[in-house]
Amino acid sequence: MKKNILAVLLSAALAGSMAGCATKEKPSGDLQKITFVLDWVPNTNHTGIYVAKEKGYFEAAGLDVEIVQPPEDGAEMLVGAEKAQFGISAQDGLMPALIGDNAIPVEAVAAVVQHNTSGIISRKGEGMERPKGLEGKKYATWDKDLEKAMIKNVMEEDGGDFSKVELIPSTVTDEVSALQSKSVDAIWIFYGWTGIASKVADFGTDYFAFKDINSTFDFYTPVIIGNTNWMEKKPDATKAFLSAVKKGYEYTIDHPEEAVDILCKAAPELDNELVAASQKYLNEQYKAEVEQWGYIDPDRWNGFYNWVSENGLSETKISENTGFTDDYLE
């Protein structure tokens, strides 16, 4: 998809623009200059980046890191053009950059969280706690082929009929308010932000995760991406950057309250209560069951792209192990 699912969701969940939140730094001596582009406005997916900056991990690694907001066409294009060396993307959003005549030199180098936390949220008690329950309901859609194919798949797995879903063009900027107003019945969300927001608002909801219906949909989102050419020229700097980022996320896991303060200092527009609750949830997701922060499982990565190819959702077949590497992780 031209605009990945994560970015679309965050654009709604964090609708108040925070373009002024980009962190500007002055060049520092002989430090290696690196530009890191976010996928959207600062949020708890990014906490480890801000912690690494605030705690001096980048500088200690010989790096001068500037965090910037993404352009309209996304982090992938900026990284591909080497105007940023690293950024945030997602496996689904990275896909168009990897294939066809317009392929660009980008690849994922670390998983921010280990599992796909996205799914469908709805008002509690209206039968949409399972995919089949979407029949006859109003779903807020971005009208993306991959989006609709995934919903169709999980509905059919549950004995449902996707053609019976009422597709409403999404104009949602606040998911909880949209559900409360009953302008829509169901919305695709990432639980770590919007699901938590519904709890903070004390609004009753039902939810199912895509990965719980079809394990193929446990793809990687979000991920850190890098410019392939730059990384090949500067492997030591790449490893140093990812080592510092790893320290940032591990510090976040061990010191969640301080990490919340650091993120809210960088982005004071954020709601502190929501950030704290979201951070508590995501702290269990950054590493989950793996020992190594950032690890990308080739079988899961390839499994999702194989499904995409088999279902005609990519221009060409995506080759095995395309678009990621674990080689720069500690």
pLDDT of 11 over the 80 cut: no
* Mean pLDDT, rounded, of the chain: 92
Question: What class, spelled out in words, does domain 118-215 have in CATH?
Answer: alpha beta
DSSP 127: S
Question: Which of 89, 94, 34, 90 has its CA nearest to residue 67?
Answer: 34
Percent of the chain at pLDDT exceeding 70: 91
Prediction pTM value: 0.90
pLDDT of residue 72: 86
pLDDT of residue 9: 47
Domain ranges across the chain: 5-115+220-296, 118-215
Distance CA(273)–CA(259), nearest Å, equals 13
CA end-to-end distance (rounded Å), the chain? 31
The arithmetic mean of pLDDT across residues 105-123, rounded, is 98
Torsion on CA atoms 303, 305, 306, 308, rounded to nearest 10: 130
The more confidently predicted of residues 4 and 47 is 47
Residues in the chain: 330
Q: What are the pLDDT digits (tens) for 196-228?
A: 999 999 999 999 999 999 999 999 999 999 999
**pLDDT-derived band at 26, boundaries 50, 70, 90:** very low
Asked if the domains 5-115+220-296 and 118-215 are classified in one and the same CATH topology, the answer is yes
The arithmetic mean of pLDDT across residues 282-307, rounded, is 98
Tell me the DSSP string of 151-213.
Answer: HHHHHHHTT--GGGSEEEE---S-HHHHHHHTS-SEEEEEIIIIIHHHHHTT--EEEEEHHHH
pLDDT of 308 over the 60 cut: yes
pLDDT of residue 98: 96
**pLDDT-derived band at 102, boundaries 50, 70, 90:** confident
Give the residue carrying structure tokens 């925070």: 18
Distance CA(222)–CA(114), nearest Å, equals 9
Check if CATH label 3.40.50.1100 holds for domain 5-115+220-296: no
pLDDT of residue 5: 53
Q: What are the pLDDT digits (tens) for 225-264?
A: 999 999 999 999 999 999 999 999 999 999 999 999 999 9
Amino acid at 31: L
